[in-house]
Each structure stands twice: as C-alpha cells, then as structure tokens.
Structure 1
Amino acid sequence: MAEVNSNGPQQAFSQITPGNISSQIDLLVALNLWSWPALTLAIQNAWGGSAQVSNDKRDWFAGAVSDLLTSTPPQLEDVGDLEEVLLQVMVDEFEIVVDDESAEEVARNIWAGLTKLKGGDASGLEELYSRWQEKQKKGGEKVVGIVRGEDKEAEDTDWDEDDDEGEEWNGFSDRADVDMDDAPPLVDASKPKQKLEPEVDDEGFTKVVGKKRR
C-alpha cells in the first residue's frame, strides 16, 4: 500500500506504478476521502484532536480503507460494508455522527471506481485526480456555514430546520472524547454522550445543524 501523508492524493499519485492496481486504489480512496465535505469539516475544525492529530487520523483513515479493499481474502463484501467503516471511523476518531447520507455516496464512488480499476479501466481515476488538482489550484475546498450543536444557541437563528430542504446540512453529532495512539480498532461505537446539548436524539447524540445559504 502506498503511504498517504498530509499531501493526500498528491502523495498517493506519486506512488503509482504501471500495472500496480494497489497504488491506484490508494489514490482512489485518497481522492474520495479528501473530497468528502464531512471529513473536510472535521479536519478544518481539528475535531480529531489537534490540527496535526486530525490530519494524521485522516492519513491513517485512507490507508486503512485501502488496506481493507486490497486485502486477501477481501475484508469488505459490498458498498454497505464500506459505508459502515466510514461511519464508524468518523465516530471513533472525529467524534461526529454523519447521517446526511454522504457516507453512502462516498462508499458508492469508491466501490464503483474499484470495480473499474479491477477491470483495467483507470480513465475515471485520472479524471478524478485532474478535478482534484484543479480544486487545489483554486485554494482547495472549504466547508462553511455549519456549526456544532453547542454553538447553535449563540448564533442568530435565522433559519428553520423544516425550511428549504437541500440548503442545510443535518448530520453531525458531538461525542465524548476518545483517545488514539496508533491505528484504533474499527469497533464499539456505542459510548454514551457525556453532556446534554440542544436537539439531543434518542441515542444521546447532538445534531450539528447548518445555517441557510444566503
């Protein structure tokens, strides 16, 4: 597996060698994770710990997913398995629950790309990388207009959850702190919430609600 560092897809791309599908899968995973708004938000806000720790966790995340996809025997059977891994890592390492269906989209994109690569078609991967490079030239992708649950009351409430579907993100929940030394196990996402926040759901998670776009 190619080592993916804070340069993300750029580093993964540099590891690609002709005919090496493993390195292509590394790049595929990196491109999709670095383009996932939910994960980008977590990195921007250092929800994985410090800024450096958050970036390190994203690097590990990409490598772990790539390993699962290239392992023998396969560790993931379908898109659903991959989606579960993405969701659980977000809970375990970044202390947020993503329920806006974006994890399913990321999983489907990775799985579709994987199928093409295994069939010898790398054109989609090349196009995905070109689009990522163009975004970097423009300064990268920033996720704005979203607040965590505990900050919501302090913001002007000029929005309504029931208004303008598609103009807001509901889907991120605060969790109790967790520690990470090395690569943590992808298990046990059942730790209880330690404090009450606005809009707490039945499982004790607080939603992070996005403001309306102007």
Structure 2
Amino acid sequence: MSAAVRVAVVDDHPVFRLGMVALLGSLAGTEVVGQAASAAEARALLGLDGAGAGVAADVVLMDLDLGDGSGVDVTRELVRSRPGARVLVVTMHESDDAVVAAVRAGARGYLVKSAGPAEVERAVHAVAGGAMILAPTVAERAMAYVVGGRAGSRVPFPQLSDREREVLDLIARGLDNTAISRRLVLSPKTVRNHVSNVLTKLAVPDRSAAIVRAREEGLGQG
C-alpha cells in the first residue's frame, strides 16, 4: 500500500480552508499535515521564516490572495528553498495574468475554487506524482492565450498578486479606497492592506508615485 500524500492547506478564508481540510482528511490516500491562514503563517508552516524546518508536505494547496501577502510570492520562496516542492494553486481567479504568475513562480497545478471533490482529489495526486495539471476552464484559457500569440507578452508588475494588480489598476483610474472596496466587494481593511502591499512591492512612497508607475505600464486605462 502506497504512503498517503501529505498535504498542507494555505488559505485566508476560514470556511473554505476548514472545508478543504475536512475534504482532504476524508479522502483515502491523503493526509493533512498543516494549515495556514496568511502568508506569514504559511512561511512559518513551511519553514521559510528561518525558525524551523517546516512540515513535510508532498503538496501545498495555495490560495493567491492571503490578506497579508501574495500566494505567488510564498510559492516562489518555497520553490526556491525546496526545488522539489509541489504547489497546487486553488483560487477564485481565472485570469491569464494569475495563471502565468503562478506558473512562473513554480506552481505545478491550478484549480478554481468551484472545483468538485473528485477534481481536487485527482489534482492533488497528479501534482504529487509530478504532473502539471490545470482546471479545464483554465486550460482552455491558457490554450487560447498561447494560440493567440500572447504567451510571450510581459505581465506588468509580476511581483504583485492578481488582486494587488487589480487594486493598482483601480488606483491608477483615480479611485479611492472606499470606491475600490465597493467595486471589488472587499472590506476597507483588506483594501488598505492591498494598497500597502502594492506600495511596498513597487518601492514607491505614496499613491501618486504608484499611479505614475502603473500608467507607465498601461494600467488605469480602462
């Protein structure tokens, strides 16, 4: 009998995270070895903060929006630290930029949160076995992206998560935090966190400087 696939779950939405932990724990051949609700907790769980070795996970299920940071950044750090690490992104985002950023960071799979239990189970075992797997809807978009000749196009600000880039685009359009909160259906605190992360990652002092950078890269034009 083969050993169970050891899985760690990283997601800042408690209902989804606990539901995923319960699902994985109910499946034959999988074992949940840890969970994290933020980028900081993920770094501690995976031994990226220098405080310990971290859990021995065969597959890490990773959300892209973690409130205090980006799942893309955590994925990149994990893969650099452990080249054999296998990350399966599970997110709400299906955009081309999100898929490209995650794969470039080293993710081995990409599912959307609407995936059913059987699809999650197949993806976890496929990624654990070394395969690259994309959700059907994401695979269709990725193929269209390649066939359309956009595979080589540059993603603006690849250091940002998809959500942070979305927030930056709205900042560049002149929206304030309250308007962004309404537009994206996010809490004001979450928007403030995203804005702070954007300023930090772009190494700019304020919103005005961020707007200049964003418009130079073509954001804020919609």
User: In which range does the TM-score fall when normalised by the shorter chain?
Assistant: under 0.3
The normalised TM-score by structure 2 is 0.27
The structure, 1 or 2, with the larger RCO (C-alpha pairs under 8 Å, 6+ apart) is: 1
Higher strand proportion: 2
